[in-house]
Amino acid sequence: MVRPSQRTDPIVHNRLAVLRVERGLSRQELADALAVNYQTIGYLERNEYNPSLDLALRAAEFFGLPVEAIFSRQPFAPMSSQLYASASPGARPGEGTT
Amino acid sequence: MTSRTTPRSDKRIDRLSRRTRRVLAVATMVGLPGMFAWSTFWMGTTAPTVVWGPISFVLIGATIVGSFVLYRYIRGRADMPGAHLDEREQQLRDRAWILSYQVLSAVVLAVVIFLGIDVFVFGRQVVVDAGLVNALVLSTAVLLPVLPAAALAWIEPDVPADF
Protein backbone atom coordinates (compact mmCIF):
# COMPACT_ATOMS: atom_id res chain seq x y z
CA MET A 1 0.00 0.00 0.00
CA VAL A 2 2.30 2.63 -1.29
CA ARG A 3 1.58 5.52 -3.58
CA PRO A 4 0.79 4.42 -7.16
CA SER A 5 3.89 6.22 -8.41
CA GLN A 6 6.09 4.14 -6.08
CA ARG A 7 4.56 0.78 -6.87
CA THR A 8 6.27 -1.93 -8.82
CA ASP A 9 3.42 -4.47 -8.71
CA PRO A 10 0.64 -4.26 -11.30
CA ILE A 11 -2.05 -1.74 -10.46
CA VAL A 12 -5.68 -2.75 -10.76
CA HIS A 13 -7.58 0.38 -11.75
CA ASN A 14 -11.18 0.80 -10.73
CA ARG A 15 -14.24 3.00 -10.98
CA LEU A 16 -15.32 2.62 -7.37
CA ALA A 17 -15.15 6.34 -6.63
CA VAL A 18 -17.34 7.28 -9.60
CA LEU A 19 -19.85 4.52 -8.91
CA ARG A 20 -20.01 5.33 -5.23
CA VAL A 21 -20.63 9.03 -5.81
CA GLU A 22 -23.08 8.26 -8.60
CA ARG A 23 -25.16 6.26 -6.13
CA GLY A 24 -24.83 8.86 -3.40
CA LEU A 25 -22.99 6.56 -1.02
CA SER A 26 -20.45 7.55 1.59
CA ARG A 27 -17.27 5.53 1.97
CA GLN A 28 -18.64 4.14 5.21
CA GLU A 29 -21.84 2.96 3.53
CA LEU A 30 -19.94 1.27 0.73
CA ALA A 31 -17.54 -0.23 3.27
CA ASP A 32 -20.47 -1.64 5.24
CA ALA A 33 -21.95 -3.11 2.08
CA LEU A 34 -18.67 -4.76 1.12
CA ALA A 35 -17.78 -5.73 4.71
CA VAL A 36 -14.45 -3.91 4.76
CA ASN A 37 -12.96 -1.06 6.74
CA TYR A 38 -13.92 2.34 5.37
CA GLN A 39 -10.26 3.20 4.95
CA THR A 40 -9.90 0.24 2.60
CA ILE A 41 -12.42 1.89 0.28
CA GLY A 42 -10.22 4.98 0.24
CA TYR A 43 -7.11 2.98 -0.56
CA LEU A 44 -8.99 1.16 -3.32
CA GLU A 45 -10.30 4.39 -4.82
CA ARG A 46 -6.80 5.82 -4.99
CA ASN A 47 -5.38 2.61 -6.52
CA GLU A 48 -3.16 2.10 -3.48
CA TYR A 49 -4.53 -1.35 -2.84
CA ASN A 50 -5.42 -4.17 -5.22
CA PRO A 51 -8.56 -6.02 -4.12
CA SER A 52 -8.81 -9.78 -3.88
CA LEU A 53 -10.96 -11.56 -6.42
CA ASP A 54 -13.54 -12.10 -3.70
CA LEU A 55 -13.74 -8.39 -2.89
CA ALA A 56 -13.86 -7.44 -6.59
CA LEU A 57 -16.74 -9.86 -7.14
CA ARG A 58 -18.56 -8.53 -4.09
CA ALA A 59 -18.21 -5.00 -5.44
CA ALA A 60 -19.48 -6.09 -8.86
CA GLU A 61 -22.43 -7.83 -7.24
CA PHE A 62 -23.20 -4.80 -5.11
CA PHE A 63 -23.19 -2.38 -8.05
CA GLY A 64 -24.91 -4.88 -10.35
CA LEU A 65 -22.22 -4.55 -12.99
CA PRO A 66 -19.78 -6.94 -14.63
CA VAL A 67 -16.52 -7.03 -12.74
CA GLU A 68 -14.63 -5.76 -15.81
CA ALA A 69 -16.82 -2.65 -15.81
CA ILE A 70 -15.44 -1.75 -12.39
CA PHE A 71 -11.91 -3.15 -12.40
CA SER A 72 -9.32 -3.10 -15.14
CA ARG A 73 -5.59 -3.57 -15.52
CA GLN A 74 -5.60 -0.57 -17.88
CA PRO A 75 -6.53 2.92 -16.69
CA PHE A 76 -10.14 3.81 -17.38
CA ALA A 77 -10.83 6.71 -19.70
CA PRO A 78 -12.86 9.49 -18.06
CA MET A 79 -16.60 8.86 -18.24
CA SER A 80 -17.14 12.22 -19.94
CA SER A 81 -14.75 11.46 -22.79
CA GLN A 82 -16.34 8.05 -23.27
CA LEU A 83 -19.81 9.58 -23.39
CA TYR A 84 -18.87 12.38 -25.76
CA ALA A 85 -16.74 10.16 -27.97
CA SER A 86 -19.78 8.02 -28.74
CA ALA A 87 -21.87 11.04 -29.69
CA SER A 88 -21.56 12.79 -33.05
CA PRO A 89 -19.45 15.95 -33.14
CA GLY A 90 -21.34 18.86 -31.67
CA ALA A 91 -24.15 16.69 -30.36
CA ARG A 92 -24.92 16.07 -26.73
CA PRO A 93 -25.18 12.53 -25.41
CA GLY A 94 -28.61 11.09 -26.15
CA GLU A 95 -29.27 13.42 -29.07
CA GLY A 96 -29.99 11.94 -32.47
CA THR A 97 -31.26 8.69 -31.09
CA THR A 98 -34.91 9.28 -31.82
CA MET B 1 -16.17 -13.18 4.80
CA THR B 2 -14.41 -10.96 7.24
CA SER B 3 -15.57 -7.54 8.20
CA ARG B 4 -14.37 -4.58 10.15
CA THR B 5 -16.83 -1.88 9.49
CA THR B 6 -16.43 0.23 12.59
CA PRO B 7 -14.63 3.40 11.61
CA ARG B 8 -11.56 4.36 13.52
CA SER B 9 -12.14 7.34 15.73
CA ASP B 10 -11.01 10.83 14.92
CA LYS B 11 -8.71 10.96 17.93
CA ARG B 12 -5.30 12.40 17.23
CA ILE B 13 -3.61 9.18 18.20
CA ASP B 14 -5.37 7.39 15.32
CA ARG B 15 -4.15 9.98 12.87
CA LEU B 16 -0.49 10.05 13.74
CA SER B 17 1.61 10.60 10.65
CA ARG B 18 3.86 7.80 9.51
CA ARG B 19 6.91 9.91 10.34
CA THR B 20 5.73 10.40 13.91
CA ARG B 21 4.91 6.70 14.24
CA ARG B 22 8.33 5.75 12.97
CA VAL B 23 10.04 8.09 15.43
CA LEU B 24 7.92 6.60 18.22
CA ALA B 25 8.72 3.05 17.13
CA VAL B 26 12.46 3.72 17.15
CA ALA B 27 12.29 5.59 20.48
CA THR B 28 10.33 2.73 22.02
CA MET B 29 12.73 0.05 20.87
CA VAL B 30 15.86 2.03 21.73
CA GLY B 31 14.76 3.59 25.03
CA LEU B 32 15.05 0.67 27.43
CA PRO B 33 18.25 -0.86 26.03
CA GLY B 34 19.58 2.70 25.87
CA MET B 35 18.84 3.14 29.56
CA PHE B 36 20.78 -0.01 30.43
CA ALA B 37 23.66 1.02 28.19
CA TRP B 38 23.65 4.52 29.69
CA SER B 39 23.61 3.09 33.24
CA THR B 40 26.55 0.80 32.43
CA PHE B 41 28.46 3.73 30.97
CA TRP B 42 27.56 5.98 33.91
CA MET B 43 28.82 3.43 36.45
CA GLY B 44 32.26 3.67 34.86
CA THR B 45 32.35 7.42 35.30
CA THR B 46 32.41 9.76 38.26
CA ALA B 47 29.33 11.65 37.12
CA PRO B 48 26.85 12.34 39.94
CA THR B 49 23.48 10.62 40.23
CA VAL B 50 21.76 13.85 39.29
CA VAL B 51 23.16 13.35 35.79
CA TRP B 52 22.18 9.68 35.60
CA GLY B 53 18.60 10.16 36.80
CA PRO B 54 17.06 12.51 34.25
CA ILE B 55 18.69 10.83 31.25
CA SER B 56 17.61 7.38 32.46
CA PHE B 57 14.12 8.72 33.10
CA VAL B 58 13.89 10.09 29.56
CA LEU B 59 15.16 6.85 28.03
CA ILE B 60 12.87 4.53 29.97
CA GLY B 61 10.04 7.03 29.53
CA ALA B 62 10.49 6.78 25.76
CA THR B 63 9.83 3.04 25.92
CA ILE B 64 6.89 3.33 28.33
CA VAL B 65 5.15 6.20 26.53
CA GLY B 66 6.03 4.81 23.10
CA SER B 67 4.64 1.38 23.99
CA PHE B 68 1.42 2.89 25.25
CA VAL B 69 0.95 5.07 22.16
CA LEU B 70 1.83 2.27 19.73
CA TYR B 71 -0.54 -0.19 21.44
CA ARG B 72 -3.23 2.45 21.43
CA TYR B 73 -2.57 3.17 17.78
CA ILE B 74 -2.69 -0.41 16.54
CA ARG B 75 -5.49 -1.39 18.96
CA GLY B 76 -5.06 -5.15 18.66
CA ARG B 77 -4.56 -5.18 14.90
CA ALA B 78 -1.03 -6.56 15.12
CA ASP B 79 -1.53 -9.28 17.68
CA MET B 80 -5.04 -10.63 17.21
CA PRO B 81 -6.09 -13.64 15.14
CA GLY B 82 -7.66 -11.25 12.69
CA ALA B 83 -11.32 -12.26 12.58
CA HIS B 84 -12.33 -8.61 12.67
CA LEU B 85 -9.81 -7.42 10.10
CA ASP B 86 -10.58 -7.00 6.44
CA GLU B 87 -8.27 -8.35 3.74
CA ARG B 88 -6.15 -5.18 3.47
CA GLU B 89 -5.64 -5.02 7.20
CA GLN B 90 -4.76 -8.71 7.34
CA GLN B 91 -2.16 -8.19 4.60
CA LEU B 92 -0.73 -5.26 6.52
CA ARG B 93 -0.62 -7.27 9.74
CA ASP B 94 1.11 -10.17 7.97
CA ARG B 95 3.72 -7.75 6.59
CA ALA B 96 4.22 -6.39 10.11
CA TRP B 97 4.81 -9.89 11.45
CA ILE B 98 7.33 -10.59 8.70
CA LEU B 99 9.10 -7.31 9.44
CA SER B 100 9.13 -8.14 13.17
CA TYR B 101 10.73 -11.50 12.43
CA GLN B 102 13.30 -9.87 10.18
CA VAL B 103 14.16 -7.21 12.77
CA LEU B 104 14.44 -9.80 15.54
CA SER B 105 16.65 -12.02 13.38
CA ALA B 106 18.84 -9.07 12.45
CA VAL B 107 19.24 -8.02 16.10
CA VAL B 108 20.13 -11.55 17.25
CA LEU B 109 22.57 -11.93 14.35
CA ALA B 110 24.15 -8.53 15.06
CA VAL B 111 24.62 -9.40 18.74
CA VAL B 112 26.17 -12.78 17.89
CA ILE B 113 28.54 -11.18 15.37
CA PHE B 114 29.44 -8.37 17.78
CA LEU B 115 30.18 -10.84 20.59
CA GLY B 116 32.10 -13.08 18.20
CA ILE B 117 34.33 -10.23 17.10
CA ASP B 118 34.76 -9.06 20.68
CA VAL B 119 35.80 -12.49 21.91
CA PHE B 120 37.69 -13.98 18.98
CA VAL B 121 39.25 -10.87 17.42
CA PHE B 122 39.91 -8.66 20.43
CA GLY B 123 40.26 -11.48 22.96
CA ARG B 124 37.93 -9.89 25.48
CA GLN B 125 35.78 -11.87 27.89
CA VAL B 126 32.01 -11.64 27.99
CA VAL B 127 30.93 -11.56 31.61
CA VAL B 128 27.36 -12.70 32.06
CA ASP B 129 26.53 -11.17 35.42
CA ALA B 130 23.23 -10.41 37.10
CA GLY B 131 23.14 -6.92 35.59
CA LEU B 132 23.47 -8.23 32.03
CA VAL B 133 20.88 -10.96 32.60
CA ASN B 134 18.53 -8.41 34.15
CA ALA B 135 18.93 -6.10 31.17
CA LEU B 136 18.45 -8.91 28.66
CA VAL B 137 15.39 -10.38 30.38
CA LEU B 138 13.73 -7.00 30.92
CA SER B 139 14.46 -5.76 27.41
CA THR B 140 13.18 -8.99 25.87
CA ALA B 141 10.08 -9.13 28.06
CA VAL B 142 9.17 -5.53 27.35
CA LEU B 143 10.25 -5.08 23.75
CA LEU B 144 9.38 -8.41 22.15
CA PRO B 145 5.61 -8.00 22.63
CA VAL B 146 5.84 -4.41 21.35
CA LEU B 147 7.75 -5.38 18.21
CA PRO B 148 4.72 -6.31 16.03
CA ALA B 149 2.96 -3.11 17.08
CA ALA B 150 6.03 -1.06 16.23
CA ALA B 151 6.37 -2.85 12.89
CA LEU B 152 2.74 -2.19 12.00
CA ALA B 153 3.04 1.45 13.02
CA TRP B 154 6.18 1.63 10.89
CA ILE B 155 4.68 0.25 7.67
CA GLU B 156 1.12 1.54 7.77
CA PRO B 157 0.63 4.30 5.21
CA ASP B 158 -0.67 7.69 6.21
CA VAL B 159 -4.41 8.09 6.36
CA PRO B 160 -5.25 10.33 3.42
CA ALA B 161 -6.39 13.87 4.08
CA ASP B 162 -9.87 13.29 2.67
CA PHE B 163 -10.86 10.98 5.53
Amino acid at site A7: R
Tens-digit pLDDT string for chain B (163 aa)? 444 444 455 577 777 888 999 999 999 999 999 999 998 888 888 878 888 888 999 999 999 999 999 988 887 676 666 668 889 988 898 999 999 999 999 999 999 999 999 899 988 888 888 888 888 898 899 999 899 999 999 998 887 666 5
How close A73 gets to chain B, by Cα (Å)?
Answer: 19
The chain A residue lying nearest B159, using CA atoms, is: A39
**DSSP string of chain B, one letter each residue:** -----SPPP--GGGG--HHHHHHHHHHHHHHHHHHHHHHHHHHTS---HHHHHHHHHHHHHHHHHHHHHHHHHHTTTTTS--TT--HHHHHHHHHHHHHHHHHHHHHHHHHHHHHHIIIIIT-------HHHHHHHHHHHHHHHHHHHHHHHHHHSPPPPTT-
Interface confidence (ipTM) of the complex:
0.70
* Shortest distance, CA A48 to any CA of chain B (angstroms): 10
